[in-house]
Structures are given as structure tokens and as C-alpha cells.
Amino acid sequence: MRISHVVENLNRGGLERVVLDLVREQAALSHACQVLCLFERGHLADELTAAGVEVVACGKHRGLDARALRRLRDAIRAHGAEIVHSHNAMAHYYAVAATLFLGVRRINTRHGMGNFPCSIRRELLFRLSLVATHSVVAVCVPAFRNFVRYRAVPPSKMVVIHNGIQIDQFHVGDSEARNDLRRMLGWGESAVVLGCVARLNAAKDHETLLRALQMVRVHYPQAGLVLVGDGALRASLEALSADLKLDQAVRFLGDRGDVAELVRGFDLFVLSSLTEGYSIALIEACAAGVPIVATRVGGNGEIVYERRNGLLVESRAPQAFAQAVQSLLADANTRARMASESRRLAEQYGSVKSMSARYLDLYRGHLPVDRSVVSPTGIA
């Protein structure tokens, strides 16, 4: 098949990593793929270019941009696309407008939870575009339910396809990997490393992690926190870390291209999000065999199985988060069992091959709506 993926950009993030891995898997299966970025190309674009996949930046400006729309249409026509697969709302309504009368099959993936209220104009344009849309994918069951509950997407057009990653790029950590990370951080070999990979924005609620760490260190003074990722809140989080007297116990590593190596050295993976779709960071933690403490939001419960590969706590609850971390730090046998189960679950459910196979079926029109998550009234 000839497939055009449409995204806002390819800067580092969970959505962008999913698109990157999906496109590479499709290209490896001899499908002709291109990626069209509404705005700039982004940091990850060169990885696709190196793999022989065309990446086109449409240079969109703020507001409705007819020139970017024309560039998008020209690129899709030049590619001879049969499938146009857009990712999130803005990319989709631009993709639909750009392909009117082109006779393509239009697929959209909403990578978030569809929490409302949100941008009224964006959602209105998205809903208008659904008239010419064949299928919309939610990345977890709670997201599916949200989109149906708020009548954002007709249930008959929706399906759940979980995200996947390149499992083979992740290896279970050992003592050498842990020691390497500690040396890089400037910490001793006895340090207990809690790690988080996430953008530094309000939705990830890193403040809860910092406050939980302060509590954990009362009982485990050797505990430290590694934050991988960057964002608008970095300065304020660094200031909070200083106010909590955690300067020496927290490392802000910024955006990194070696996440697979870093995660191998974590003792626990921690994620305090207020909202999540189907978290790539959590799947990566599973693939690296790392036990998890995460908030009970979005699709996290479809990745973290309570007391099997981690623990789930309520959001905005630093004390509960700290208690969950401490309970795992106190039980090495449970951590070892969870580490093994994490890797097994990632191999069984989290591979990009499984995700790609379901998308290819959907492109061909062979994948029905998953009625197991929808009741006759439209809400499970």
C-alpha cells in the first residue's frame, strides 16, 4: 500500500515515537510510506530520512493556513497515497481537507484521552471532518469511552488499537547497567534510582514526584530521582527541587536519545501523570524489566497490572505515591518478580509488530469495531 502519515511535527514525544516506529515497520514490510508534518520536521525526522522514508514539512502558520493545506495536498497526490493516516485532531482535519475528491481511505488516531472541555474550534473542525473519515482509533479503552461519552466520534467508526514499541531495542537491566547510570549521575553505587521519562508539562505533574521523593528520602536517604525530558516547566521544577532541598537528589537530563540505556539503570519507573492515553514511556519501562509506580489515569491500568508489574495510585497524592514507592523499595523479591513480569507483558502486548498488523487490517477495512468495550447504549 501507499501510505501518507500526517502529524503536527516529529519532535520528541510519545505520539511521535509511535509514528516513527509504525512507519519503519510498515516500510520494512515493503509499503511505500511518507510522513507529512503540518509545521516543522522536528528532531526525529532525520531517523526516518535515514531509513529512506520521505518527510515533508508544510510550514503551517497560526490559524487556518491555505498555503500549508496546498503543500499537504500536493505531497499526498505526488505520493499516490491510498491510505492517509493522521494523528490527533488538527492533523486530521487538515488531512481531510487536503484529500477531498482524491479517493483515499482516511484513518485517524487520537493519541490522548479525549478529555473535555478542550479547544472548541479544534474539536468542531475535527467533528466536521468525520463525515469523510473511515475510522478513528483510540489508543486505550478509557479513551474510547470518553470519545463516545462526549459524542465526539460515532461509536460505529471507532476501534481500539494499543500503541507498541520496538521491543528488541530494550534490554533488561543488570548490575553493570545500574552502576553505569549511577556513575554518569555522579551518585554512589548504593543509590536507589527512581526514573521518569516525560515532557516537563502540567499534565505530567512532576511536582507530585518531587514531593513524594522528599517523603521517601526520610526512610531511604539514598533515593534519587532522574527526570528525562524537557519542557516549559523545567525552570519552575528546578526551583521547587531547590526549595525542597533536593538539589543533590534530582537530576534533570533534558531530551535524550539514549532512553533505552537510561531506563535499564532505573530501580523503579515512576509516572505521576494527571492524564495519559496509552503511555509509550510505561511500555518502554516494561520492556526494560523495570517495576512501575504510576497514577491510575487513562490507559495506565492497561499497562500496569496491579501487584503484577507495578502499583497504581490516585493522581495528585504525593503521600500515597511515596508509600507505594517505599513498599517496593522494602521488598526486593517483589521488585524482581515484577521486573520479570514487566518484560513478559511487553513482549506479549506491547510490540510494534502487533500494532502494525492491526493498523494494516484497519487500512484494508477488515477490522471491526471492538464491541466488547461498548454497551448497546454506547457507554461500557
Percent of the chain past pLDDT 90, that is, above it, reads 87
> Does one domain contain both 41 and 73?
yes
Q: Ramachandran region of residue 24, left (φ > 0), alpha (ψ -120 to 50) or beta? A: alpha
Q: Please report the pLDDT score of residue 367 as a whole number.
A: 65
| Cell numbers at 245, concatenated | 532541598
pLDDT band for position 14 (cuts 50, 70, 90): confident
Q: Supply the pLDDT for residue 380.
A: 32
What would the pLDDT profile of 158-183 be if each residue is shown by its tens digit?
A: 999 999 999 999 999 889 999 999 99
d(CA 294, CA 313): 6
- Residue 208 domain-assigned (yes or no): yes
Report whether pLDDT(350) > 80.
yes
| pLDDT, tens digit (0-9, with 9 covering 90-100), for 271-285 | 999 999 899 999 999
Tally Cβ neighbours within 10 Å of residue 326.
Answer: 18
Q: Distance between CA atoms of 282 and 198, rounded to whole angstroms?
A: 10
Q: Are residues 158 and 281 in the same domain?
A: no
Give the pLDDT score at 210: 98
92 and 187 belong to one structural domain: no
Q: Do 73 and 135 belong to one domain?
A: yes
Q: What is the pLDDT of residue 151?
A: 87
pLDDT band at 293 (very low <50, low <70, confident <90, very high): very high
pLDDT digits (tens, 9 = 90+) for 353-371: 999 999 999 999 986 545 4
Q: Are residues 255 and 342 in the same domain?
A: yes
Residues contacting 5, CB < 8 A, separation 6+ = 19, 22, 23, 33, 34, 35, 36, 85, 86, 87
The reply to whether 380 falls in a domain is no
- pLDDT, residue 377, reads 30
Q: Picking from 29-33, 242-246, 257-261, 371-375, which range would have the lowest pLDDT averaged per residue?
A: 371-375
Question: Same structural domain for residues 156 and 8?
Answer: yes
Task: Note the helical H segments in the chain.
Answer: 14-28, 45-50, 66-79, 89-98, 120-129, 141-149, 175-185, 206-219, 234-243, 259-264, 280-287, 318-329, 332-349, 352-363
At residue 376, the pLDDT reads: 30
In this structure, the answer to whether residues 33 and 178 fall within a common structural domain is: no
CA 156 to chain centre: 25
User: Amino acid identity of 115?
Assistant: N
* Residue 378 counted as domain residue: no
Tell me the per-residue pLDDT of 302-327, one tens digit each, with 9 for 90 and over: 999 999 999 999 999 999 999 999 99
Per-residue model confidence as pLDDT tens digits over 60-118 = 998 889 999 999 999 999 999 999 999 999 999 999 999 999 999 999 999 988 765 56
* Mean pLDDT of the chain, nearest integer: 93
Same domain (yes/no): 99, 220 = no
Q: Which range marks the domain in which residue 331 is found? A: 167-349
Please tell me the total count of domains within the chain: 2
The residues near 249 (Cβ < 8 Å, ≥ 6 apart) are 213, 217, 223, 224, 225
Residue 150 is predicted with a pLDDT of: 86
Kindly tell me if the per-residue pLDDT of 379 is higher than 70. no
At residue 373, does pLDDT exceed 60? no
**Based on the domain organization, do 227 and 333 belong to the same domain?**
yes
Over 60: is that where the pLDDT of 232 sits?
Answer: yes
CATH number assigned to the domain comprising residue 123:
3.40.50.2000
Q: Is the pLDDT of residue 51 over 80?
A: yes
DSSP at 351: B
